[in-house]
């Protein structure tokens, strides 16, 4: 479960303070598939970064699976991410010097998982890239790279998967494939998925959509609300 | 740990080709260290194994005066108290050998040694004919000679040579000889004759220079006690007592020092490699920030990510070091024919091994890895600033804290580490501190000069000509390699230009001394009854280049040893005390009533012509620093006679002007009345080799004990040595320059990606390849010019300091060498820089832009 209480983010722009995310409360129950939508500069990615512990909020508390993360130092946050959070980026961010298989192996090796090779192969298999295991990122198409990134994000079976514009850099066919994968992950594994997107198709397939504008949540609307997952959502 | 190693290996797989230049830098330095250390260690092993044959006996007693009865009695008493002792004597002197009376007229300075039958106790002579050495070869005026004498005198085995009043038949040629000092300065070829025959030649006149030696063979357990006893007994006699162990220790010490200093040369190259490692790591980390952020996002802590990159550097350092060991192996395999055989021939024993020694290999590997890690640590610290947030916000990295304690602490630790490694290499903290301190100073100076010079091209940033403006901008763009290249290439150019300048200064200094009006011949050991005869010969000879040089006065000299200094602040009594105070050597002293042209009194008053009330002495100013003051009484021993004289003046001597020679002690005339003394003379020899030979011959034929040394020949020898030293140093400078070049290539390669992109954008915007090429030519031309200027200026300072403070010769500017240094450095940098950029120029812009 993800819980945000009074979380805001203010940065200095020149001499002026600039609030990117206004104070908000948010609860994402375990197993929910949540999308955050909104125009560029509305604060969606910043919010996602705050949830992942990539950035520190100016006010408020963030609780991930019972752990309050705003007081953790850089290394404890890294360990928490390694164990509990998978992340998928718009620009994939695979390590260019490693093969697809090795990219998936990295998080497994970081936590010292047993038999990482078998697990990594199985994950590549699941995203349909068994034959491409020994290719370098530069030898893969954008869609394939994003699938490797998803396999990597799922390596340690994290309870939470965060995705920042996962289809933003892909054509529609590849984008659809990625959407299927992410929804599948949520449905089959019960993984909590929070994704930031511009993609209407993708947003339409999530349990709940949170719209943002100028750093504030504008609207909360389950576009398609599956009965199985109740949405508890409070915007301020 | 497994993760760290695995990641390091995977990253290396992708990046090794970018790091290869630094890998080679480390290899070159480590190769130097391993090869030099191994070689010296092997020589040491060979020498110490047979240290006895270097002294040819267990214990020696040496003196440069005839044995006094007292001394002999004391030695005999000690020797007869022991059982199983054998004794033999040798006699060494420098003299003239000439062709036999009716065979020809050539002469040659030789080092002649007279030996008795039992010589040598240890070691073996090697003779050219292959026959084993036997004392019978020296019977009936037989002689064994060094090979070079045959060619120089134009004689063969079986011919006769004359030394003093005797003629000796050459029986064989000496190839190797026990009991000969290694690496010492040699006046001429060796001639070995029987001891009693040498005494009969008549050359050992009163006060002639000859070293007499008593060699003892004693049971091993008695060596130390005998040496101690003899030293006690003979503490006030002018003798030196020692054992083969002393020689062994000295060799150990000297070779140990040589090994350490030579290794420092390798260390300097490794440091250059380290600069390369530092530079590449800096750029590498910038290019890897995103990968670092990904690792952190996936759960790796900063420490683990740091460990991955440190492991990478360590692996690379190890790889370079292993390659270096290979290079050393190949290099050593290439020397045995020349060097090992020479070393073996010079010493007359076991061939020196050219295998690598274990300790040298371990040291080389350790240093390669250590230096790589030390230099990489500081740039690797930037990994701390790579936040995973970078992945969400392109190109946004928070600025590092203004004052970074960790960075400062790491820099201090790295400095300490380098100091430790240098001290370890030099086996001395002091030397290590000097090397690191000197290096830091040079590097800092080069760095600041570089910064200042870069500022000077700033105005071009607003130039209207596109290539010029962008060339100037490139030198200062973020992540530029300007300072690193300046440092590395500047240092190499500094070494090479500096050494060449010093050499030219030395040569100039020597040619100054060979000016037409300067003495170029030296005569010594002229006895009192020969002075008039020698002067008569000189008066008959046309001296000087034009035949009109004046006949020089013969200078009376005596050989004296300081045995006491008494004054308000000084109290040195006895031979040992004088030795400890630094006055142990034998001084050649003179007396005269006037100052020479090259002298000036700096304190006190030089005596006038009035009769002497008391013995007076004038000392050279450098002795004041060693404790002798104006007004002190100095007691000297002149062939057993003690003379006390008061210091009444202090002189400064211009040693460059050698017309009247230079004397440390000058006495007032009358001090040595009645004492036997000899004469020396500095003269301008006749013009032409033949005339010089004829003069030498005439003097030596009439006065066989007189030694005539031809300065022209000596200077030729010195120049040869000088050339050799310069060559060695130039090789080191060349290696440094090579390393600098590698760093340059590496730096260009590292920033290639950025320049590829820029070039693509420029081309898309309409820039032609020619304009871009011009831009690179200007950029690297300016960079090379700056590096050359920095190196040449540094070299000028180095030459100035070395000539004035160390070599004590006049400093002569060598503008041509400096200018050539600047131009050549600029050309090298230009060629390497532009050459490495050809790919950038030829690449189609679309390919690059699409890849971005």
pLDDT tens series, chain A, 236 aa: 899 999 999 988 778 888 989 999 999 999 999 999 988 888 888 899 899 888 889 999 999 988 999 998 888 888 888 889 998 988 888 888 889 999 999 888 888 888 889 999 999 998 889 999 999 888 898 889 999 999 999 998 999 999 998 888 888 888 888 889 889 989 998 999 999 988 888 888 899 999 998 888 875 554 443 433 444 443 33
Asked if B293 and A96 come within 8 Å (Cβ–Cβ), the reply is: no
Nearest to residue B773, comparing CAs of B502, B371, B467? B467
B848 vs A: CB within 8 A: no
What is d(CA B176, CA B174) in angstroms, rounded to the nearest whole number?
A: 6
More confident residue, B261 or B168: B168
DSSP character at residue B685? P
pLDDT at residue A2, rounded to an integer: 92
Task: Dump the DSSP string for A111-178.
Answer: HT-SSHHHHHHHHHHHTT-GGGTT--GGGS-HHHHHHHHHHHHTTT--SEEEEESTTTTS-HHHHHHH
B299 vs A: CB within 8 A: yes
Asked if A79 and B302 come within 8 Å (Cβ–Cβ), the reply is: no
Contacts of A94 in chain B (CB under 8 A): 294
**Given CA atoms B635, B637, B638, B640 in this order, what sign does their dihedral have?**
positive
What is d(CA B211, CA B94) in angstroms, rounded to the nearest whole number?
A: 10
pLDDT at residue B189, rounded to an integer: 83
Which residues lie closer than 8 Å to B707 by C-beta, 6 or more apart?
A: B94, B95, B96, B109, B523, B524, B525
Contacts of A116 in chain B (CB under 8 A): none
pLDDT in tens, B188-246: 788 999 999 998 888 887 656 788 999 999 888 888 888 899 888 888 777 888 888 77
How near does any CA of chain B get to the CA of A137, in Å? 12
Cβ neighbours of B764 (radius 10 Å):
12
Per-position b or e across A187-219, b if 16+ CB within 10 A of its CB: eeeebbbbbbbebeebbebbbbbbbbeebbbee
Backbone dihedral region for residue A55 (phi beyond 0: left; psi -120 to 50: alpha; all else: beta):
beta
Cβ-in-10-Å burial (0-12, 13-18, 19+) of B662 comes to middle
CB-closest option in B294, B299, B394 to A95: B294
CA distance readout (Å), B200 to B102, B193, B195: 21, 11, 9
> For the complex shown, is ipTM > 0.95?
no
pLDDT in tens, B27-60: 877 887 888 788 777 777 766 666 677 778 888 8
pLDDT at residue A230, rounded to an integer: 42
What is d(CA B708, CA B703) in angstroms, rounded to the nearest whole number?
A: 11
DSSP character at residue B617? E
Comparing alpha-carbon positions, the chain A residue that sits nearest to B390 is A54
How near does any CA of chain A get to the CA of B384, in Å? 10
Comparing alpha-carbon positions, the chain A residue that sits nearest to B384 is A74
What tokens appear for B167 in the block? Answer: 């003629």
Task: Dump the DSSP string for B24-40.
Answer: HHHHHHHHHHHHHHHHH
Residue B759 three-state SS? helix
Comparing alpha-carbon positions, the chain B residue that sits nearest to A98 is B10
Asked if B293 and A81 come within 8 Å (Cβ–Cβ), the reply is: no
Backbone dihedral region for residue B721 (phi beyond 0: left; psi -120 to 50: alpha; all else: beta):
alpha
Partners of B650 in the beta sheet?
B603, B619
Which position has the token pair 């893969």? A140
C-beta separation of B499 from B726 below 8 A: yes
What is d(CA A57, CA B827) in angstroms, rounded to the nearest whole number?
A: 56
**Residue B706, φ and ψ in degrees, nearest 5:** -80, 135
pLDDT at residue A60, rounded to an integer: 93
pLDDT at residue B685, rounded to an integer: 82
CA distance readout (Å), A134 to A121, A145, B28: 11, 13, 36
What is d(CA B259, CA B252) in angstroms, rounded to the nearest whole number?
A: 10
Comparing alpha-carbon positions, the chain B residue that sits nearest to A165 is B392
Per-position b or e across B238-251, b if 16+ CB within 10 A of its CB: bbbbbbbbbbbeeb
More confident residue, B718 or B505: B505
Instruction: Please tell me the total number of residues recorded for chain B in this structure.
Output: 852
A75 vs B: CB within 8 A: yes
Mean pLDDT of the residues in chain B: 80
Degrees, nearest 5: CA angle B540-B543-B548? 95
Asked if A74 and B302 come within 8 Å (Cβ–Cβ), the reply is: yes
C-beta separation of B49 from B346 below 8 A: no
Helices first, then strands: H and E counts in chain A = 7, 10
pLDDT at residue B739, rounded to an integer: 67
CB-closest option in B15, B293, B304 to A97: B15
pLDDT at residue B258, rounded to an integer: 66
C-beta separation of B564 from B644 below 8 A: yes
Helix-helix angle B244-297:B482-513, to 10 degrees: 160
C-beta separation of B93 from B210 below 8 A: yes
C-beta separation of B592 from B669 below 8 A: yes
**Given CA atoms A111, A115, A121, A125 in this order, what sign does their dihedral have?**
negative
Percent of chain B at pLDDT > 70 equals: 82
What tokens appear for B154 in the block? Answer: 């134009």
pLDDT at residue A183, rounded to an integer: 92
Partners of B89 in the beta sheet?
B214
Comparing alpha-carbon positions, the chain A residue that sits nearest to B389 is A54
Size of interface A-B (CB pairs under 8 A): 87
Contacts of B300 in chain A (CB under 8 A): 78, 82, 106, 110
> Quick check: pTM over 0.90?
no
pLDDT in tens, B524-569: 888 888 889 999 988 888 777 777 778 888 888 888 888 889 888 8
Helices within B182-301 (DSSP H only)? 195-200, 223-233, 244-297
Asked if A89 and B388 come within 8 Å (Cβ–Cβ), the reply is: no
More confident residue, A227 or B87: B87
Backbone dihedral region for residue B768 (phi beyond 0: left; psi -120 to 50: alpha; all else: beta):
beta
What is d(CA B650, CA B668) in angstroms, rounded to the nearest whole number?
A: 13
C-beta separation of B325 from B365 below 8 A: yes
C-beta separation of B587 from B617 below 8 A: no
pLDDT in tens, B389-441: 877 766 555 555 567 888 889 988 988 988 888 888 777 787 778 777 877 77
C-beta separation of B746 from B22 below 8 A: yes
B298 vs A: CB within 8 A: yes
Task: Dump the DSSP string for B688-708.
Answer: SHHHHHHHHHHHHHH-TT-EE
pLDDT in tens, B608-667: 877 667 888 999 888 888 888 888 999 988 877 888 999 999 998 887 665 666 788 998
Instruction: Please tell me the total number of residues recorded for chain A in this structure.
Output: 236
C-beta separation of B439 from B268 below 8 A: yes
CA B403 to chain CA centroid, nearest Å: 44
Percent of chain B at pLDDT > 90 equals: 9
C-beta separation of B489 from B741 below 8 A: yes
SS3 content of chain B, % helix, strand, coil (to 5): 60, 15, 25
Whether the ω angle into residue A182 lies within 30 degrees of 0, i.e. cis, is no
What tokens appear for A230 in the block? Answer: 């109740």
pLDDT at residue B806, rounded to an integer: 65
Task: Dump the DSSP string for A60-85.
Answer: EEEEETTEE-TT--HHHHHHHHHHHE
B15 vs A: CB within 8 A: yes
Which of the residue ranges B131-135, B577-581, B803-807 has the most confident prediction, judged by mean pLDDT?
A: B131-135
What's the half-sphere exposure (Cβ side, CA atoms, 13 Å) at B489? 35
**Given CA atoms A195, A201, A205, A206 in this order, what sign does their dihedral have?**
positive
Residue B477 three-state SS? coil
What is d(CA B44, CA B42) in angstroms, rounded to the nearest whole number?
A: 5
Helix-helix angle B711-750:B244-297, to 10 degrees: 10
Q: Which of B292, B297, B401 has the highest number of chain A CBs within 10 A, making it the mutation to test binding with A?
A: B297
Partners of B590 in the beta sheet?
B666
Residue B614 three-state SS? coil
What tokens appear for B266 in the block? Answer: 């390798």
């Amino acid at each position: 479960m993800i819980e945000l209480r009074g979380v805001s983010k203010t940065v200095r722009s020149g001499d002026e303070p600039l609030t990117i995310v206004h104070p908000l409360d948010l609860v994402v129950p375990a197993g929910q598939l949540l999308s955050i939508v909104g125009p560029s500069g509305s604060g969606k990615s910043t919010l996602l970064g705050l949830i992942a512990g990539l950035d520190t909020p100016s006010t408020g508390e963030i609780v991930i699976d019972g752990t309050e993360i705003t007081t953790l130092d850089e290394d404890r946050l890294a360990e928490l991410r390694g164990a509990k959070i998978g992340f998928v980026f718009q620009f994939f961010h695979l390590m260019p010097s490693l093969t697809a298989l090795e990219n998936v192996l990295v998080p497994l090796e970081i936590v010292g998982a047993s038999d990482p090779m078998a697990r990594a192969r199985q994950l590549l298999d699941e995203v349909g890239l068994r034959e491409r295991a020994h290719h370098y990122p530069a030898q893969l198409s954008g869609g394939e790279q994003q699938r490797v990134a998803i396999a990597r994000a799922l390596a340690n079976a994290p309870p939470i998967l965060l995705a920042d514009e996962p289809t933003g850099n892909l054509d529609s066919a590849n984008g659809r494939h990625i959407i299927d994968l992410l929804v599948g992950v949520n449905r089959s594994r019960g993984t909590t998925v929070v994704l930031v997107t511009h993609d209407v198709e993708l947003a339409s397939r999530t349990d709940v959509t949170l719209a943002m504008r100028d750093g504030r949540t504008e609207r909360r609307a389950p576009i398609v609300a599956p009965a199985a997952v109740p949405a508890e959502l409070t915007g301020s | 740990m497994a993760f760290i190693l695995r990641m390091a290996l995977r990253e290396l797989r992708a990046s090794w080709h970018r790091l290869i230049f630094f890998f080679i830098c480390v290899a070159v330095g480590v190769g130097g260290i391993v090869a030099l250390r191994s070689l010296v260690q092997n020589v040491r092993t060979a020498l110490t194994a047979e240290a006895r044959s270097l002294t040819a006996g267990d214990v020696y007693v040496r003196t440069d005066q005839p044995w006094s009865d007292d001394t002999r009695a004391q030695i005999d008493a000690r020797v007869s108290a022991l059982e199983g002792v054998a004794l033999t004597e040798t006699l060494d002197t420098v003299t003239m050998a000439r062709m036999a009376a009716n065979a020809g007229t050539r002469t040659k300075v030789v080092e002649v040694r007279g030996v008795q039958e039992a010589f040598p106790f240890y070691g073996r002579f090697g003779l050219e004919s292959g026959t084993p050495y036997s004392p019978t070869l020296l019977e009936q005026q037989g002689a064994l000679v060094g090979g070079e004498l045959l060619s120089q005198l134009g004689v063969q085995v079986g011919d006769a040579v004359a030394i003093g009043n005797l003629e000796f038949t050459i029986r064989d040629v000496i190839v190797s000889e026990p009991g000969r000092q290694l690496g010492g300065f040699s006046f001429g070829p060796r001639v070995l004759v029987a001891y009693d025959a040498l005494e009969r030649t008549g050359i050992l006149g009163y006060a002639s220079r000859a070293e007499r030696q008593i060699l003892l063979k004693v049971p091993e357990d008695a060596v130390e006690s005998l040496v101690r006893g003899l030293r006690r007994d003979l503490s006030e006699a002018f003798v030196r007592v020692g054992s083969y162990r002393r020689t062994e220790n000295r060799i150990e010490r000297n070779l140990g020092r040589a090994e350490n200093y030579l290794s420092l040369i390798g260390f300097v190259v490794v440091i250059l490699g380290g600069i390369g490692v530092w530079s590449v790591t800096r750029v590498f980390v910038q290019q890897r920030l995103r990968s670092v952020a990904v690792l952190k996002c996936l759960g790796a802590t900063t420490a683990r990510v740091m460990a991955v990159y440190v492991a990478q550097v360590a692996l690379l350092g190890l790889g370079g070091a292993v390659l270096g060991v290979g290079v050393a192996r190949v290099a050593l395999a290439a020397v045995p024919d020349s060097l090992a055989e020479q070393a073996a021939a010079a010493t007359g024993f076991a061939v020196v091994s050219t295998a690598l020694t274990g300790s040298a290999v371990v040291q080389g590997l350790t240093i390669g890895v250590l230096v790589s890690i030390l230099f990489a640590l500081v740039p690797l610290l930037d990994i701390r600033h790579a936040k995973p947030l970078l992945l969400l916000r392109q190109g946004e990295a928070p600025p590092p804290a203004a004052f970074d304690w960790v960075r400062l602490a790491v820099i201090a630790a790295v400095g300490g580490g380098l100091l430790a490694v240098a001290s370890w290499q030099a086996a001395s903290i002091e030397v290590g501190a000097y090397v690191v301190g000197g290096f830091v100073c040079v590097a800092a100076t080069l760095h600041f000069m570089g910064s200042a010079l870069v500022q000077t091209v700033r105005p071009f940033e607003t130039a209207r000509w596109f290539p010029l403006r962008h060339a100037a901008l490139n030198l200062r763009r973020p992540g530029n390699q300007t300072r690193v290249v300046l440092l590395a290439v500047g240092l190499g150019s500094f070494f090479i230009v500096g050494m060449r300048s010093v050499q030219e200064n030395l040569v100039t200094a020597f040619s100054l001394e060979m000016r037409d009006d300067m003495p170029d011949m030296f005569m010594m050991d002229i006895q009192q009854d020969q002075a008039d005869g020698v002067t008569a010969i000189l008066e008959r000879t046309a001296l000087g280049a034009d035949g009109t040089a004046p006949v020089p006065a013969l200078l009376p000299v005596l050989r004296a040893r300081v045995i006491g200094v008494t004054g308000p602040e000084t109290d040195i009594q006895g031979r040992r005390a004088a030795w400890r105070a630094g006055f142990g050597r034998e001084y050649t002293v003179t007396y005269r009533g006037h100052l020479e042209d090259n002298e000036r009194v700096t304190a006190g008053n030089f005596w006038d012509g009035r009769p002497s009330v008391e013995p007076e002495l004038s000392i050279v100013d450098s002795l004041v620093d060693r404790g002798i003051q104006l007004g002190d009484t100095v007691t000297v021993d002149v062939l057993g006679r003690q003379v006390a004289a008061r210091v009444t003046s202090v002189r400064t001597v211009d040693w460059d002007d050698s017309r009247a020679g230079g004397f440390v002690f000058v006495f007032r005339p009358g001090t040595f009345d009645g004492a036997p003394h000899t004469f020396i003379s500095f003269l301008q020899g006749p013009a032409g080799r033949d005339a010089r030979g004829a003069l030498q011959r005439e003097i030596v034929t009439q006065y066989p004990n007189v030694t005539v040394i031809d300065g022209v020949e000596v200077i030729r020898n010195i120049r040869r040595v000088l050339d050799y030293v310069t060559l060695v140093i130039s090789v080191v400078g060349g290696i440094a320059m090579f390393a600098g070049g590698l760093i340059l290539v590496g730096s260009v390669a590292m920033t290639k990606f950025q320049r590829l992109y820029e070039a693509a954008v420029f081309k898309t915007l309409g820039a032609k390849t020619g304009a871009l090429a011009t831009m690179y030519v200007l950029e690297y031309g300016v960079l090379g010019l700056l590096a050359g200027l920095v190196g040449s200026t540094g070299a000028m300072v180095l030459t100035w300091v070395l000539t004035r403070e160390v070599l004590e010769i006049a400093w002569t500017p060598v503008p041509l060498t400096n200018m050539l240094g600047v131009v050549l450095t600029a050309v090298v940098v230009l060629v390497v820089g532009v050459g490495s950029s050809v790919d950038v120029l030829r690449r189609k812009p679309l390919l690059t832009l699409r890849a971005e």
